[in-house]
Structure 1
Amino acid sequence: MPEKQKDRDADLRRGIRVEIASLVYNVLEVVVSVTAGLLTGSAALVSWGLDSTVEATSAGTLIWRLRGEKKGADRRTILKRKKIALSVVAAAFWIVVAAILYEAVSAFLSQEAPGFNWWGIAILFVSLVVNPFLAWGKHRYGKRLDSPALKYDAKDTLICEYQTVVVLIGIGLTQWLGWWWADPVAALLIVPYVAWEGFEATKDAWSVDPDDVGAAA
């Protein structure tokens, strides 16, 4: 086997491991944050958890796409999986935008301050530490494998880091100053970033042609 192919196979294995770690951690994020958010009535916490479903979905599809190449799938199959992976990620982004808007508007209409939950706060602080490492791994292997889907996944993880800070600030203002509106505002601040990535992922998904065997996979 040529040295270049050996290096790519090694990068594929490492990329898959990073995505497996991302999948496991994001499932944990979803379960803890959405449960805590629903129990306390925090639109920001629920919205943050819903965005983690994008990362979990992305991780699952990317594992499938990378394993296909690792098993020796032909060029057309790899490109087809690439298109599907980008399409799934794009769809997940738009679903999350709709869900966040629903949660935020509902919170504005009720005008009720959310409660406090230590589990929700704990998962936010843990994510501040974990997400930068996951983003670095995804970007590193996305660049080495020339994979737009992996690079988008890295961007989404960095966006999640920004969202984590915003949600913590929103919860803090709500709990310490009694500003009930800070929680849904924090949720709405997430929307532009998720929508932009959804637009970019959609554009890239449309640009992939499985019959163009000369394209980068």
Structure 2
Amino acid sequence: MEIDAPAGTFSPRQVILLQWITLAWMLIECFVALIAAWDARSASLLAFGSDSLVELISALVVLLQFASPPRMSQAKAARFCGLLLYVLAAVVTAIAIFGLIRRQEVELSPLGIAITAGALVLMPVLAYFKRREAERTGSKALRADAVQSAACAYLAALTLAGLLLRSWFGFDWLDSVAALAAVPILVLEAKRARRGQVCSCC
């Protein structure tokens, strides 16, 4: 059920703070994950870094919506955030399939393990507070952004599991499989995000 909050009945400061925290973390996460992906030749880390970039854009879109005066409508922002999830699903699929075809050796990445572990802790917290503020403000775009934060945590868990299993058992294909495992949930949540629904995992 949608919540329509009348204009002027809430302060956007908490939402803006959440988005600035997201922007700061995503800059770090994207930079570190892409460096780790390059060093380790990891498809799942590259997918994770791409997700960070999408989340960065999504947070910026929501920030623009809550600017004073708003620079983007709720409906347009929600559609855009949902579209970003579809883009992310396509990018992850392409990267993972490329990794399976090339069958290149994936190296152990302590940096990748550290950044995905950090995301696994932080992103569910951000998703929870974004969902709460979305319910309070009635913002579909913020609900979609909460979906992306939850999806980021899910990707972090899959990527971390793939990296650890790869280091323990030496199966290079696990890296790409971990990336592909995220695609169905991303597509499902993209549909929900475009309707402004809260995902089941956040």
If the length of structure 2 is used for normalisation, what is the TM-score?
Answer: 0.86
Match of 1:56 in 2: 56
**Residue in structure 2 matching 1:8, options 7, 10, 29:** 10
- State the AA in 2 paired with 1:51: D
Larger Cα-atom Rg: 1
Deviation per residue, 1:28-55 (Å, 9 max, x gap)? 1111112211221111111112112221
Whether the 8 Å contact between 1:113 and 1:174 is mirrored in structure 2 is no
| Structure 2: distance between partners of 1:162 and 1:103 | 17
Whether the 8 Å contact between 1:29 and 1:49 is mirrored in structure 2 is yes
| Structure 1: distance between partners of 2:129 and 2:143 | 10
Q: Kindly state the Cα deviation for residue 114 of structure 1 after the two structures are TM-superposed.
A: 0.9
Match of 2:167 in 1: 175
Whether the 8 Å contact between 2:77 and 2:141 is mirrored in structure 1 is yes
Match of 2:200 in 1: none
Q: Which has the higher helix share?
A: 1
- RMSD of Structure 2 on Structure 1 (CA): 2.1
Q: Kindly state the Cα deviation for residue 104 of structure 1 after the two structures are TM-superposed.
A: 0.7
Structure-to-structure mapping, 1:35-54, within 5 angstroms: 35-54=35-54
Structure-to-structure mapping, 1:87-98, within 5 angstroms: 87-98=79-90
- State the AA in 2 paired with 1:39: D
Match of 2:157 in 1: 165
Q: Kindly state the Cα deviation for residue 200 of structure 1 after the two structures are TM-superposed.
A: 2.6
Whether the 8 Å contact between 2:54 and 2:84 is mirrored in structure 1 is yes
Deviation per residue, 1:105-163 (Å, 9 max, x gap)? 11111112311222211111111221122112211111110112212211221222222
Match of 1:189 in 2: 181
Whether the 8 Å contact between 1:57 and 1:88 is mirrored in structure 2 is no
Runs ≥4 residues deviating over 4 A? 4-7
Count matched residues: 192
Q: Kindly state the Cα deviation for residue 5 of structure 1 after the two structures are TM-superposed.
A: 7.0
| Structure 2: distance between partners of 1:132 and 1:61 | 20
Unaligned residue ranges in structure 1 (runs of 5+): 205-217
- State the AA in 1 paired with 2:93: L
